[in-house]
Amino acid sequence: MAQDVTEAKRAKEALRDVEERFAGAFEYAPIGVVLVAPEGRWLSVNRALCELVGYSEVDLLTKTFQDITHPEDLEADLVNLRRLIAGEIRSYQMEKRYIHAQGHLVPVLLNVSLVRDAQGGPLYFIAQVQDSTERKRSEAALELSLHEKEGLLKEVHHRVKNNLQVIHSLLRLETSRSEELATRSVLKEMQGRIHSMGLLHEMLYQTGKFARVNLADYLGRLATQLVRAQSASPGVVGLVLDLSPVQVQIDQAIPAGLIVNELLSNSLKHGFADGRSGELRLVLRREAAGLVRLQVSDTGAGLPADFEASSPWQNPGVSGSRH
């Protein structure tokens, strides 16, 4: 009985075509592609992997991946493979090092998944292996460049702090020479402003972090030093700090420091001018909508009865709550 085998032949040819395409894609892939038995034996390797590790295909097929994996990287690789077999993960990616046939190390980026049989048992691992040597070199060069720039920025802040310290010292010298009380007062105020900016650059130099400033730490140190320097008698005026962590940029920290310097100096000068005891409070708190509350208050002499609150800055010679 005659049987039409045309469709069967077409199906067989289509299957052969797919297999040839897969074999070509496997063999000529620009990165290493391998099939590995569950116990680690190489089942199939492509040309790119052979070139990467310096072994011929024949040599590799007599080895396991454990044979050429750096000992320090092997355990992490095996743990991931066990998790794949157990079904805990579907694939994994890791960086590891192969030992080249000539003895040097080859850093690679490994992507591994597991092929199972119809019953769900492990057949083989399929892995993509990409040489990461150039990426490692680029990362090392970038890290070196970053360290150099950080060192340069640190030196800049150190020099700015030193220059501000010189200006502060010159102002203090002029203050001691001046006989005019008004002039001495202005020079002291200028010293306080210079000091507030110098303290910020000193903190940046010490921490080595230049993108953001810990405003709570900066204002806390500024307020403590200012009260200690300007209080008539130690302990007469107490300082209470209620500062929540707030990170800001340097161009936001500088005006905040100058404002706090002015408000605290104003309170110490006018609110406690008669030697009375009391309390200064500095509050920094993050609020809704991304706003930050900065508040200075005191228990000093208070505002005069005839004070008009049309502007919070119209009378710098009064104490009380300042925001």
The pLDDT-based confidence of 232 (bands split at 50, 70, 90) is: low
If you average pLDDT over residues 267-290, what whole number do you get?
A: 83
The verdict on 127 and 20 lying in the same domain is: yes
Write the pLDDT tens digit of every residue in 188-231: 778 777 878 787 778 777 777 777 888 888 888 888 888 887 76
Q: What is the DSSP letter of 268?
A: I
| Among candidate residues 105, 131, 157, the one where a domain is terminated | 131
State the CATH number of the domain containing residue 231: 3.30.565.10
Q: Is the pLDDT of residue 154 over 90?
A: no
Write the pLDDT tens digit of every residue in 85-97: 999 999 999 999 9
End-to-end CA distance of the chain: 103
Q: Which domain holds residue 96?
A: 15-131
Give me Rg for the CA atoms of the chain: 36
Strand order across the 32-36 sheet: 42-45, 32-36, 122-131, 105-116, 91-99
Per the CB < 8 A criterion, the answer to whether 237 and 268 are in contact is yes
The verdict on 201 and 219 lying in the same domain is: no
Bigger pLDDT: 173 vs 89: 89
| Among candidate residues 86, 108, 131, the one where a domain is terminated | 131
pLDDT attached to residue 275: 72
In a domain, 83, yes or no: yes
Poorest-pLDDT segment among 88-102, 180-194, 278-292: 180-194
| Among candidate residues 149, 175, 210, the one where a domain is terminated | 210
Q: What does the angle CA 167 – CA 169 – CA 172 come to, to the nearest 5 degrees?
A: 110
Q: What is the DSSP letter of 269?
A: I
pLDDT attached to residue 123: 92
Token pair 């502007």: residue: 311
Q: How many residues does the chain have?
A: 323
The verdict on 285 and 315 lying in the same domain is: yes
The verdict on 169 and 262 lying in the same domain is: no
> What letter represents residue 11's amino acid?
A
In a domain, 180, yes or no: yes
Bigger pLDDT: 183 vs 78: 78
Per the CB < 8 A criterion, the answer to whether 227 and 264 are in contact is yes
- Pair type for strands 91-99 and 105-116: antiparallel
